[in-house]
Amino acid sequence: MMGTLARVLAEKKIPTHTDRFRADVQGIVENVEGVLRITRILVHYSLTTPPGNGEEARACLDHYIEGCPAAMSVQGAIAIEHSMEVKERSARETRGVSPC
């Protein structure tokens, strides 16, 4: 899922280097009729973007999942909830920093 979101962000020229993009993932296991099952996966992304890319990054979160093989493989059996915290770097922070 993280790789699919990174690809969608890259298509918008939003960098996802390891120091700028991370995911915290939690699997919820429940007893369903006597059998332990993963019933939900909670994914929280944290992304630091160049100035002016925050809204576009948030928009990517709304549609990336349809292109994710892992998510589409478990859809219907496991609920997936995702969220993203986006921090835009200031222009001052980006001076001297390569866009790649």
Query: For the CA atoms of the chain, what is the radius of gyration?
Result: 16
Q: Taking residues 49-63, report their average pLDDT.
A: 93
Q: For the CA atoms of 86, 88, 93, 95, what is the dihedral angle to 10 degrees?
A: 120
CA-CA-CA-CA torsion sign (85, 91, 95, 100): positive
Global confidence as pTM = 0.83
pLDDT above 90 (res 35) = yes
pLDDT above 70 (res 77) = yes
User: What Cα–Cα distance (Å) separates residue 36 from each residue in 4, 13, 30, 39, 73?
Assistant: 28, 42, 5, 9, 19
pLDDT above 90 (res 14) = yes
Q: Which CATH architecture has domain 2-90?
A: 2-Layer Sandwich (3.30)
Q: Which tokens belong to 3?
A: 């790789």
pLDDT above 90 (res 41) = yes
In this prediction, residue 4 has a pLDDT band, given cuts at 50, 70 and 90, of very high
